Structure 1
């Protein structure tokens, strides 16, 4: 399924429902650019709004100067444990406004969105491309572009599409090619690992480590991409994930490796009596998911999952992966984030 494009007509002043919009009145009823007909070759700075973090971070990786704002505060915990660290972000992006969004845990701030007059809003298909969202954006005269990002395999096409639409075709092509190389390397690794040798993985979320996501969840795609075998094969009950499980169930699974999302739980896990009998704990194979500058696993899912999958492949299969992880991190940061990191900085990201 290719990404689809939708354009909305302006509403009359009497149809606006937000106080700020009502006050501004007809002066804001500007004609919309025809995104369906032609793609602009130039957009003004800070004119593209991502309605969910995967869209926002996608824009940031292609053209950070076009990003209108963030969906949640930087350097703070947001809904569902989403967090980021601005240390490795470009300085100009660190002070962009928080505009909210429609992803679970976010709250859209439509008046703030309207105040910056974005020329384009990105919708996340297939998860957050719906009538309610489109109607809300229609009310504030913001045209939309729908981008499909259901799995890591969608990133090359998404980069090419968005690079073309944002007048950044060369950069979009570069990122598409680099991401495809990562996918191809991961596929080769998975093909080289017999099923009987796959490492079992438990993804421990929450402050007590007893929340997780199932094997087929978008939140655990990094595990699948790296060739891991997620021990939780149940079904998700909601898009936001984080299903509650019992300590008894974790003990029954007895995973080879535990991935931890919450730093507080990571600092405690080796001292918790209930966890001492687990194979992963006894073997010191409990790992905190890196989050520089965005989470490498999920919350939010983003292009950083490409690096996360390389990291996890190295963790699970150090001999077969045959990679210099510090060099991989340095190269990824230079290409996708346009910042240079030292070997020492790279190592600190995955060996806290």
Structure 2
């Protein structure tokens, strides 16, 4: 073997050695890039640098959908056909209905992270720590307070590496939401509209002032007439017709359970017992929009932003002057990735169901 042949052989062996050393070795896992973030509860959480899949709870569903319609691994609501119309199929189709706390299901779905929107109490923070230890998947807590949505949008934008989308949503909040609580503070006590929030299939359940479910009534400068016990969780305290007559509200807001039939609204508008209530006589009964999520509540998520604008304009049109149709279209385009027609806006914001009297 001459000198040139020896050099070629040595070069070949060197190449084989270098190539083999770069190959994946059995038993060794590829290491993905990670980073450590501080969530909104002040917890340090190690997460993948790029998040591809997320397990959500009911309060964070709309927030994640606004940023990405497909990255959630679970479905937390059962949507009717009207609600589906305004949502991308990538958000719900072929995804299992699994709500928060289902430890085994979360492990089976293998999300990159779990994101919950919660009241940041000591108990909820501890539950997040326990869950993370059980599933060995990062758990990230978001604040669910409506007055924290600018901070939440900024946080989620950084979390998902989507700052441009965060800025787009942030601009909407600054333009339409920031002024509402300031104007509400200027409404004199004597000028505050007195509201009964009718829940349940016959309007005989409600939530008092201070409840997360009726928060927007207080926030826009109105007065919640219900003086009842504040129930935890889903709320909805039972009340009697005698109590409602004694409260004598100026306006009745109706939540019909996100059903297209609007049964509660129809019942209140047509039932003889309700008919003598001043608000009913004066045609001051309004169905709360519900598509694709409740506008005041159910769930208490980022869906409330459009409800914040709708309710303030409904109660005080001279104070909160907005083009409701235009703002609704803008919200749906930016937050729900849907371009509405004029007809759809009217159907959602001012439904007119056929009502048969008793």
Shared topology, TM-score over 0.5?
A: yes
Are the equivalent residues in 2 in contact too, given 1:208–1:265 (CA < 8 A)? yes
After alignment, is 280-289 or 90-99 more displaced?
A: 90-99
Deviation at 1:192, TM superposition (A): 4.5
**1:17 alignment partner in structure 2:** none
Are the equivalent residues in 2 in contact too, given 1:202–1:230 (CA < 8 A)? yes
Aligned residues: 310
1:314-352 Cα distance to aligned partner (Å, 9 max, x none): 221123322221111011111111211011111110111
Q: For residues 130 and 268 of structure 1, do their structure 2 counterparts lie closer, same or farther at Cα, with a shift above 3 Å needed?
A: same
Q: Does 1:64 align with 2:69?
A: yes
Deviation at 1:301, TM superposition (A): 0.9
Are the equivalent residues in 2 in contact too, given 1:276–1:282 (CA < 8 A)? yes
Matches within 5 A, 1:145-164: 145-149=140-144, 151-164=145-158
Distance 2:265 2:96 in 1: 29
SS in 2 for 1:327: helix
Are the equivalent residues in 1 in contact too, given 2:47–2:138 (CA < 8 A)? no
Q: TM-score, normalised by structure 2?
A: 0.79
Are the equivalent residues in 1 in contact too, given 2:220–2:312 (CA < 8 A)? yes
Matches within 5 A, 1:204-283: 204-262=198-256, 263-283=262-282
Aligned-pair Cα RMSD in Å:
2.6
**2:134 alignment partner in structure 1:** 139
The higher relative CO (CA closer than 8 Å, separation ≥ 6) is in 1
Matches within 5 A, 1:73-152: 73-75=78-80, 85-102=83-100, 108-126=101-119, 129-149=124-144, 151-152=145-146
After alignment, is 211-220 or 119-128 more displaced?
A: 119-128
Q: For residues 291 and 302 of structure 1, do their structure 2 counterparts lie closer, same or farther at Cα, with a shift above 3 Å needed?
A: same
The match for 1:49 among 55, 71, 95 is 55
Distance 1:41 1:167 in 2: 9
Distance 1:139 1:32 in 2: 23
Q: Which runs of 4+ in 1 moved over 4 A?
A: 30-34, 37-41
Deviation at 1:177, TM superposition (A): 3.0
Distance 2:94 2:125 in 1: 26
Whichever of the two has the greater Rg, that structure is 2
Q: Which runs of 5+ in 1 are unaligned?
A: 1-26, 77-83, 103-107
